[in-house]
Structure 1
Amino acid sequence: MILDNRGLEPPQPMMRTLAALETLAEDEILTIINDRRPMFLYEQLEELGYLQRTEQQNDGSYKIEIFR
């Protein structure tokens, strides 16, 4: 599942991401694309038991893969 959060103002990207995680199956990966590094999201993911990989893209956006 890919969620493009570019162009949204906080807290919309985090709210959309957390809502998408509620529908994520155990073996699925949620990929989000954000304009900025989601610093506050990382703490939430850790509390919920998720892991993540963050990679800055050539256009300055961030691709974050979220999984268990």
Structure 2
Amino acid sequence: MNAPYDDNHNGEWEETILDVGGLAPPEPMVRVLDALDHLGPNQRLCVLIDREPHPLYGILEKNGYAHRTTARADYRYEVRIWEPVRGTLPGQAERPL
């Protein structure tokens, strides 16, 4: 979902960090999907993972979540996931340039 990404979200973001590094597939996906079941308005999930989770992107888009992936200096990835503001148009997930 291509949605506006506001790091501050007017100071209202409640972020949960989920570190799934070192886990063998499919455990990271299972844990992320479970965490998304508990994600509410003005909340986002920050997933720390050892590899870029390409299969997750399609699942997120299909279920109406926006996301942004950042490669970190320690060779891990941060995937921030949130529900976009209603009324945005479907499209590719927002990714850094």
Q: Same fold (TM over 0.5)?
A: yes
Gaps of at least 5 residues in structure 2 are: 1-15, 84-97
2:86 corresponds in structure 1 to: none
Q: Match for 1:59: what amino acid?
A: D
Q: Distance in 1 between matches of 2:30 and 2:78?
A: 17
Q: Distance in 1 between matches of 2:51 and 2:41?
A: 27
Please state if 1:28 is matched with 2:43: yes
- Runs of 4+ with >4 A deviation: none
TM-score, reference length from structure 1: 0.97
Distance 1:26 1:45 in 2: 16
Shift of 1:27: 1.3
Letter in 2 for 1:49: G
Secondary structure of residue in 1 paired with 2:23: coil
Matches within 5 A, 1:14-53: 14-53=29-68
Structure with the bigger percentage of helix: 1
Q: Which runs of 5+ in 1 are unaligned?
A: none
CA RMSD, 1 decimal: 0.5
User: Sequence identity, in percent?
Assistant: 43
Q: Find the structure with the greater CA-based Rg.
A: 2
Does the residue aligned with 2:39 lie in a helix, a strand or coil?
coil
**1:29 counterpart SS class:** strand
